Structure 1
């Protein structure tokens, strides 16, 4: 799983953004270039399997962080898993109709 850092132009409401894979050999150099160009670091690192998954998590704004927190707490994790199971069952039954 890769770790991505996102950068946004100020006052663009997260519409103008770019990102870097922190595992890249040129990460620090590219990060410095983005900061010089006026980009600002946005939020914490996002862990994802692919770039498109990282962008999707970034665009979901804080839903990703809330989801990760929910999964990390045993009590709320149970409710999260039940919610996912119920959603899956609804999809299965809708397809069968």
Structure 2
């Protein structure tokens, strides 16, 4: 099940100085307030991911994954391309 992550960055850091919070955490609002007080700003929209590692990967992609998801859902050829790419990648890893 996907978890919602909220990312925060320090201004003028080119997205390199960041942290994130699990929005389902009981302490989310308190931690969010603390980060905002420290000068962090909310960066982008909420990221849905299966793990924090996946969330960070999506964050670092600077929302390229959003376009990939969109293309996959609206373009049959792109969907086929991604399927073949996945198959060939998984074959290499075996």
Class of the TM-score when normalised by the shorter of the 2 chains: 0.7 to 0.9
Alignment of 1:57-96 (within 5 A): 57-73=58-74, 76=75, 78-91=76-89, 92=91
- Deviation, 1:64, is 1.7
TM-score by length of 1: 0.83
Match for residue 40 of structure 2? Answer: 39
SS in 2 for 1:31: helix
Q: Does 1:26 align with 2:24?
A: no
SS in 2 for 1:54: helix
Structure 2 stretches lacking a partner, 5+ long: none
TM-score by length of 2: 0.86
SS in 1 for 2:20: strand
CA distance in 1, matches of 2:83, 2:67: 19
- Deviation, 1:65, is 1.8
Aligned residue pairs, count? 92
- Runs of at least 4 residues off by over 3 Å: 88-92
Structure 1 stretches lacking a partner, 5+ long: none
